[in-house]
A = this chain, B = another copy of it.
Amino acid sequence: MTHFNTVVTLDRIQAALDRNDLDAAIQAIEALRPPDGALVFDDLDEKDQLSLLPNLTPAISADILENMDEADAAGLVTAISARSAVRIIDQMEPDEAADLLGDISPQHAQNILARLEKPEEVRPLMLHPDESAGGLMTAGFLTLRCTMSARAALEAIRAWELEPGPISSLFVVDENGKLCGEVSLHRLIVAAPSTRLADIVDRDIIAVPVGTGQEECARLMTHYDLVTLPVVGAHGELLGVIDIDDVVDVIVDEATEDIQRLGGAQPLSKPYLNTAILSVAKSRIGWLLLLFVTESLTGTVLRLFESEIASVVALSFFIPLLIGTGGNAGSQATSTIIRALAVGDMALRDGLRALWHELRVGLFLGAGMSLFAFGRALTWGSSQQLAFTVGLSILAIVIWANVLGALLPVLALRFKVDPTVVSGPVMSTLVDATGLFIYFSVARLMLGI
């Protein structure tokens, strides 16, 4: 439904721009909800984007920039006049403004920052890396003192010009700015007007240090069903608040990156169809080449057993079947383990338990596949000896693949590498060469060649 509307609007906007009717184009974009406006805007040429951006209502331009790819947004802000940029950035959420200013040249950023209405809300946020709690948090929130009465707190809220939006947790600090706890707007309304906040504040809340990684923040908010997460400095002073909607974006983006990496490709920074052919190819060629070089090992193994293949050509018929099954089993194991690590179902110290788990799973799977492969080899008219060789090899290969599938992601994490490097393609490539070695060694023993 949404998708359909935006397509129709895109056509209308493009037509308006083509006949130089800027007003009609502006009207069409402003009629959309901001995230849809951003989608449509994203599909326009850069030339059209540049002529539209300074002429839209600043709040709408701000929404569009917030929803765009970061590098594209930075490019646009650099290209328009500083006056227009200031007008738009004044309307952005402080955390988004800080991210954007961090992506343009420091000189230009300082110039814009100096002319903002509330530079003090944005400046401190620019100190933190984008992917930490400090980079996710917003500084645009109201803090209440624990010595205030409920009446005074409500007065402060009324006097605050910014609407806090649907998330209305209010944080309470002591005289040193140290976080005491949280009080909901609802509780404030229900309390007797003279109640001191110190008496109704909920002190049992979860807060994170400013350097906490964004994945850890996402995990905490998911596990504890939080909609806001306060961020504190070294002395417990409240620095900012992370809202759940920013974390939802983190969760979705991280899952996308994991899935792309597990497929053996570098994550793309933009939506797939908007990514140029060459960028997509570039995101994949590195792994493809690396895997190719590793896979070359299979040739080395095969040449090692050249005489065996020449004497029993039928051995080669089973090559793809055996190493394919090994790769599949390894891929099953590794994707399960990687996800268990990512969602916190499993920690690094559970590594040995996981290995033992997969070893036994591999034993069951290997035994099942072994019987099946034995039968299949016989129906292909192979000798009983060859069928035994195939059956025994597949048992060993599947167990080996499962162990490798459990071991590699845990080892990666141990050495602080993202476990998703152990993608399905990496697993099947590693299992291919080692699987062939297992197969031909078994064959040499069983067939006496």
Contacts and interface: CB of A to CB of B under 8 A. Distances in A.
Contacts of A378: none
A26 interface: no
A281 B399 CA distance: 12
Of A187, A302, A310, A433, the most chain B CB neighbours within 10 A belong to A302
Interface string A178-214: 0000101111011000000000000010100000000
Contacts of A228: 166
A41 to B, nearest CB: 15
A166 B163 contact: no
Interface stretch (A12-20, A108-116, A265-273): A265-273
Interface stretch (A99-107, A119-127, A343-351): A343-351
Contact of A320 (B224, B255, B323): B323
Contacts of A346: 271-273
A267 to B, nearest CB: 9
A185 B168 contact: yes
A140 interface: no
Contacts of A157: 186, 189-190
B327 A425 contact: yes
Nearest to A253: B343
A59 interface: no
A134 to B, nearest CB: 18
A289 B424 CA distance: 18
Contacts of A365: 281, 284-285, 288
A356 to B, nearest CB: 10
A335 B262 contact: yes
A284 B329 contact: yes
Contacts of A386: none
Interface string A403-441: 000000000000000000001110011001100100000
Contact of A295 (B325, B332, B334): B325
A260 B368 contact: no
A393 interface: no
Contacts of A332: 263-265, 284, 287-288, 425
A33 B202 CA distance: 14
Given A166-B168, A295-B320, 13 more contacts: A33-B224, A165-B184, A166-B184, A189-B189, A222-B248, A263-B334, A263-B336, A263-B424, A281-B364, A289-B368, A295-B325, A309-B313, A320-B433
